[in-house]
């Protein structure tokens, strides 16, 4: 068994509807008000962002380890909340990859994302997680990778 990593976050209220958190790398302002903010991430947004970051981080990781050719990745994550009991019940994602790798290699990458994603596995133990990988052409005219374009 490997050594455990420890992550810390310190956070505090900055006003009636906002808070700020600090990690060893960054400061993040987030919504802690009763109503949803249009400007700040709320707790569910942060959870979805952590899930998306996990997938994208592992795309980068396995692009080097396998190696796997890709020119960009974009993920769309949807979290579904239930009221009774209050919880995130489902997470769905679509990961778009700009690659010319054959389908079997895309499947291998996807298996590694599911098997070795820390946030993915943590959330999959508490709610339904499902998704798919969509392959796009490696590059658009002008050099912008297709998967890096905003939806």
4-36: string of b/e by CB count within 10 Å (b at 16+)?
Answer: eeeeeeeeeeeeeeebbeeeeeeebebbbeeee
The whole-angstrom separation of Cα 68 and Cα 28 is 32
When pLDDT is cut at 50, 70 and 90, the band that residue 1 belongs to is low
Q: How many residues does the chain have?
A: 151
Verdict on whether the full-model pTM lies above 0.95: no
Who's near 151: CB < 8 A, 6+ residues apart? 74, 76
Q: Reply yes or no on whether the pLDDT at 64 is more than 80.
A: yes
> Under CATH, what is the fold of the domain 42-148?
GMP Synthetase; Chain A, domain 3 (3.30.300)
Round the average pLDDT of the chain to a whole number and report it: 90
| Run of H or E residues at 56 | helix 43-65
pLDDT at 62: 95
The arithmetic mean of pLDDT across residues 2-11, rounded, is 87
Q: Reply yes or no on whether the pLDDT at 140 is more than 70.
A: no
The whole-angstrom separation of Cα 37 and Cα 118 is 28
pLDDT at 142: 44
Share of the chain above pLDDT 70, in %: 91
Domain positions in the chain: 1-41, 42-148
Kindly report, residue by residue over 80-111, the tens digit of the pLDDT: 999 999 999 999 999 999 999 999 999 999 99
When pLDDT is cut at 50, 70 and 90, the band that residue 35 belongs to is confident
The arithmetic mean of pLDDT across residues 34-55, rounded, is 92
């Amino acid at each position: 068994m490997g050594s455990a990593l420890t992550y810390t976050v310190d956070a505090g209220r900055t006003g009636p509807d906002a808070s700020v958190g600090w990690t060893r790398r960054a400061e993040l302002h987030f919504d802690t008000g009763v109503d949803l903010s249009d400007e700040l991430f709320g707790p569910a947004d942060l959870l979805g962002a952590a899930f998306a970051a996990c997938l994208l981080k592992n795309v980068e990781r396995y692009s080097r380890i396998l190696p796997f050719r890709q020119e960009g990745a974009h993920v769309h994550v949807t979290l579904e909340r239930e009221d009774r009991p209050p919880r995130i019940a489902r997470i769905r994602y679509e990961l778009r990859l700009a690659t010319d790798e054959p389908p079997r290699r895309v499947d291998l990458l996807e298996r590694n994302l599911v098997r070795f994603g820390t946030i993915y596995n943590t959330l999959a133990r508490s709610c339904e997680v499902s998704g798919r990988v969509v392959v796009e052409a490696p590059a658009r005219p002008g050099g912008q990778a297709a998967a890096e374009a905003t939806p």
